[in-house]
Amino acid sequence: MLSFLKIHMRINILIGLILFVFLSLSLKENEKRQRPNIILVMSDDQGWGQMGYYNHPFLQTLHLNEMAKNGLRMDRFYAGAPVCSPTRSSVLTGRANDRSAVYAHGFPMRRQEKTVAQALQKAGYNTAHFGKWHLDGLKGPGVPILAEDNRNPGFFGFTEWLSVSNFFDLNPLMSHKGNIAEYIGNSSDIIVNQALDFILGHKNEPFFVVIWFGSPHDPWSALPKDKSNFPKGMEEVQ
């Protein structure tokens, strides 16, 4: 009888342990699913007035209009600085750009900085950067980021990255984690399509995706279908 009770207790303990492990795994899976996905989109040199929902005379920002209509619109949300690199550093670090040594565009960000991408990466997020980077100190036209660049997006917390050092437009040369890749077409379409592929591949896991466009920064190259929406002669205005 005693042996039977011992066996019964051991079976109950074993069942309890199995249930505990199962519930723990289930809770971790639910926790993973409940974490919000984050997509950060930023255009380059676009003024607040260059939006259709601010009644611009000819710019038709249809998707942005819809987002402004159905989402939360913050009309007094100011960038950390009025130019490119300082804004990017303040967005990633949450600190004033002078503290990260990005005093103006083209200044490299301090390697000691801690970014939101690194924090989310440690929290189990899949992190990715697509588009303009401009935090590695290069000041000229956009070029692909070399693998040995010690301020590439990977160093600052992005597991996946397809990036350019500075502004870029049609038919861009980009860097996929240090490997040079040539693309044909509009750069905005290219990085959004690449970002969508990443999102679809990680749709069952939490992700943090940064999409930083090169447009509408110059050189203002455009496909014929895009030029057709503007008044005659407008495409020649600089």
Please list the active-site residues. Answer: 84, 134
- Tokens 């896991």 belong to residue: 205
In terms of residues, how long is the chain? 238
CA distances from 164 to 135, 185, 207 (A): 10, 15, 21
Could you list the beta-strand ranges (E) of the chain: 38-42, 126-132, 160-164, 173-176, 179-182, 207-212
State the distance between the two ends of the chain, measured CA to CA, in whole angstroms: 95
% helix / strand / coil in the chain, to the nearest 5?
A: 35, 15, 50
Please report, for residues 20, 51, 107, the alpha-carbon distance to residue 89 in angstroms, rounded to integers and kept in the order given: 44, 25, 10
Which residue has tokens 């920002």?
61
C-beta atoms surrounding 40 within 10 Å: 14
